[in-house]
Structure 1
Amino acid sequence: MQYTENFLTDVYRDLLSVRLFEEKQVEIYALGKVPGHIHSGIGEEATYAGVLATRKEGDYFKISHRPVGAGCILGMPFETMFGELMGKVSGNANGLGGVLHMVSREHGMVGFSGTLGCDIAVADGAALSIQMAGTDNVSYVFYGDGTSSRGPVHEAMNLAAIWKLPVLFVCNNNQFAISTPAGYGVPVSHPGADRAAAYGMPTRIVDGTDALSVYEGAKELVDGIRAGNGPAVLDSTCYRMRGHFEGDQMKYRDAAVTEEWKKKDCIVRMETLLREQGVMTDEQMQAIRAEISGKIDAAVAAAEASPEPTPEDLYRNLYAEQR
């Protein structure tokens, strides 16, 4: 597939934005600035950057807790995300939701639950609204290899298939469900793709360390969904570089295997392609990195300066306000 320089630059910017967000998240957590646990998505950015490069205005997105920084691809401000991450009123839920409750109606983000997979049918609801409106939009939903075995996931897939809803199910196969290897906890090689046939859905298996491979697979499926052909499943194979949460000692996995996966880092692969194709120089890439890092540092500083919610804030937003 042929790509314009602008497209490649945009995908690289998205990849790098998520990576730098995730790295900063780990950094400020280690400094004690983040209440609760975080779940690093370092190494999994290409799945989101590639898939979301197929989006358009009016689409819906149900992202997951890893990498939570993917919200920035959709336009969610760094200030809002770090505000919520750090439990400050500048966050999208005024600091009351935290890392597991990033949501933005403005950007089509329908939110997610800390209990993974239980609410995946919300993506079906968003898709039903698209179908009723008669547009060619898509409802994107991301889930992991471990979540792929949960009953609510299969109920959502079954319903989407029966009603021919415009849903793209994206299985981010990062090899682990907490400490359970996918090969032990899932009876098929590809948790998303190998189960798609049960629902009559088309599917594609892509290399989740290559953003362009992900994009090509996603675009083929999304084009079919927008044409009215119903739901589809994208299975993206990648690797969770860090533990299930920060502090996880990862004694359940082979360090040598992790080192092999690091050689396929999605950022390095994209930078190599940009360099080889003459799209961007090292200096230009470094300038983009510095620009994004500066925005992230400013966002963290703004979050630190923002007040924490008060006990009274717990009672806000419990009921819809009458208009």
Structure 2
Amino acid sequence: MTTLDRLRLVRDMVRIRCAEETLADLYRDEQLMRTPTHFSIGQEATAVGVCAATRRGDVVYSAHRSHAPYLAKGGDLAALVAELYGKETGCARGRGGSVHLVDHAAGFGGSAAILGEMIPVAVGAAWAFAMDGAPRVALTFFGDGASEEGVFHESLNFAALHRLPVVFVCENNQYSIASPLSARQPAGSSIWQRALGYGMRASRIDGNDVLAVHDAARTAVEAARAGEGPHLLELDTYRWREHVGPHPDAGGYRSHAEVASWIERCPIRTAADALRPEDPTVDDRIDAWRAEFTEEVARAVELARAAPFPDVTDLLSGADEPRPLAPTTRRN
């Protein structure tokens, strides 16, 4: 990767961070977004590093913590914000909320709240690609808790059996709601090693290092595209906010010292530190990007506030129908 490519990864992380911090503050203060909202603040490197390794025709699916993968794959910011406000111009026409994002034009196939739900959906998409002989890859983001669902193992088995072009992306943020890994999984076990049991390739990466994530994802995606079968990436990371909602930690199940130690490993700071020797202006760039993206999300919020709610007579219409045209904040 060139220095410009690596800076672009940082820029994309800053954009997601600015969008989510703004939305979290508004969610808390306005009380106008009436949808359960799971923020990825602190986890930006996983989505950015992986999605930057994909092509436009590749399809990404996500679980409930969906804002970052949606934006990293190129999803329309204005449509995301309008969806959180429940407006007709939202990406699911205001019917799905935060956990049901979709942008087929960008290659974001959808997200859902049921634990592990989109894992087999991605496998199905990959099977279709394989049957059609299309050089496309399906990717699915999920948390460590989803690796304990039966459908996780069924999907890995099926994908390995048929050598499907699918990449499983486990964002291991150490908790399933309030339960740590140590309370749910045997000591000495790991998620990536389970994939080895199905004969597929798997690797464990520092999920807060966007450069390492991107390198691993690029290898996995291109191998899958070349017909070498599925790959699982276990990315160690950490969410700074509560499981669902805008607050830092409402449950008190994590110590202040633990949270602080992960904040010190901020993925944006980590990437900036790595890039500073080759680009001493990286900190100035980050400041400028923060100003740019804070303004961008403010415009998206104003558009969402001004947009209409779905008409009550139309609430049972399918969300797959074209939504009304609205000003866009899509980035190419």
* TM-score class, shorter: over 0.9
Counterparts in 2 of 1:192-211, with a 5 A limit? 192-211=191-210
Asked whether the equivalents of residues 43 and 240 of structure 1 are also in contact (C-alpha less than 8 Å), the reply is yes
Q: Counterpart in 2 of 1:88?
A: 87
Q: Counterpart in 1 of 2:64?
A: 65
Distance in 2, matches of 1:136 and 1:280, equals 39
Distance in 2, matches of 1:318 and 1:139, equals 22
Distance in 2, matches of 1:223 and 1:317, equals 35
Q: Counterpart in 2 of 1:278?
A: 279
Summarize the Cα distance change of 1:188–1:277 in structure 2 as closer, same or farther, 3 Å threshold: farther
Distance in 2, matches of 1:171 and 1:179, equals 18
Q: Counterpart in 2 of 1:112?
A: 111
CA displacement, residues 113-166 of structure 1 (integer Å, 9 cap, x when unaligned): 211213421101111121122132210101100111001111111111111110
Question: Is 2:220 the partner of 1:212?
Answer: no
Q: Counterpart in 2 of 1:228?
A: 227
CA displacement, residues 272-314 of structure 1 (integer Å, 9 cap, x when unaligned): 2232221634322211221111111100110011111122221
More contact order relative to length (CA 8 Å, sep ≥ 6): 2
Shift of 1:216: 1.5
Distance in 1, matches of 2:27 and 2:321, equals 33
Q: Kindly tell me the number of residue pairs found equivalent between the two proteins.
A: 319
Distance in 2, matches of 1:217 and 1:119, equals 22
Shift of 1:67: 4.7
Q: Counterpart in 2 of 1:304?
A: 305
Shift of 1:70: 2.8
3-state secondary structure, aligned to 1:239? coil
- 17, 20, 32: which is aligned to 1:19? 17
3-state secondary structure, aligned to 1:121? helix
Once the two structures are aligned, what percentage of the paired residues are identical?
35
Unaligned runs of 5+ in 2: 323-332
Distance in 1, matches of 2:220 and 2:110, equals 23
Counterparts in 2 of 1:172-191, with a 5 A limit? 172-187=171-186, 191=190
- 26, 29, 34: which is aligned to 1:28? 26
Asked whether the equivalents of residues 75 and 108 of structure 2 are also in contact (C-alpha less than 8 Å), the reply is no
**Aligned letter for 1:205?**
R
Q: Which runs of 4+ in 1 moved over 4 A?
A: 188-191, 318-321
Summarize the Cα distance change of 1:50–1:281 in structure 2 as closer, same or farther, 3 Å threshold: closer
Summarize the Cα distance change of 1:67–1:45 in structure 2 as closer, same or farther, 3 Å threshold: farther
Distance in 2, matches of 1:190 and 1:53, equals 30
Distance in 2, matches of 1:198 and 1:291, equals 46
Asked whether the equivalents of residues 92 and 320 of structure 2 are also in contact (C-alpha less than 8 Å), the reply is no
CA displacement, residues 64-88 of structure 1 (integer Å, 9 cap, x when unaligned): 3225233122221211000001111
Q: Counterpart in 1 of 2:252?
A: 251
**Aligned letter for 2:68?**
G
CA displacement, residues 169-200 of structure 1 (integer Å, 9 cap, x when unaligned): 01100000001001211226564302111211
Q: Counterpart in 1 of 2:96?
A: 97
Q: Counterpart in 2 of 1:40?
A: 39
Distance in 1, matches of 2:123 and 2:167, equals 10
Q: What is the Cα-based RMSD across aligned positions, in Å?
A: 1.9
Distance in 2, matches of 1:86 and 1:190, equals 41
* TM-score with structure 1 setting the length: 0.93
Q: Counterpart in 2 of 1:287?
A: 288
Summarize the Cα distance change of 1:57–1:318 in structure 2 as closer, same or farther, 3 Å threshold: closer
**Aligned letter for 1:14?**
D
Distance in 1, matches of 2:264 and 2:320, equals 50
3-state secondary structure, aligned to 2:109? coil
3-state secondary structure, aligned to 2:108? coil
Distance in 2, matches of 1:10 and 1:166, equals 26
Distance in 2, matches of 1:15 and 1:213, equals 14
Asked whether the equivalents of residues 21 and 41 of structure 2 are also in contact (C-alpha less than 8 Å), the reply is yes
3-state secondary structure, aligned to 2:171? strand
Asked whether the equivalents of residues 54 and 215 of structure 1 are also in contact (C-alpha less than 8 Å), the reply is yes
Distance in 2, matches of 1:306 and 1:190, equals 49
The range that moved more, 136-145 or 284-293, is: 284-293
Q: Counterpart in 2 of 1:314?
A: 315
The range that moved more, 213-222 or 241-250, is: 241-250
3-state secondary structure, aligned to 2:315? helix
3-state secondary structure, aligned to 1:155? helix
Q: Counterpart in 1 of 2:329?
A: none
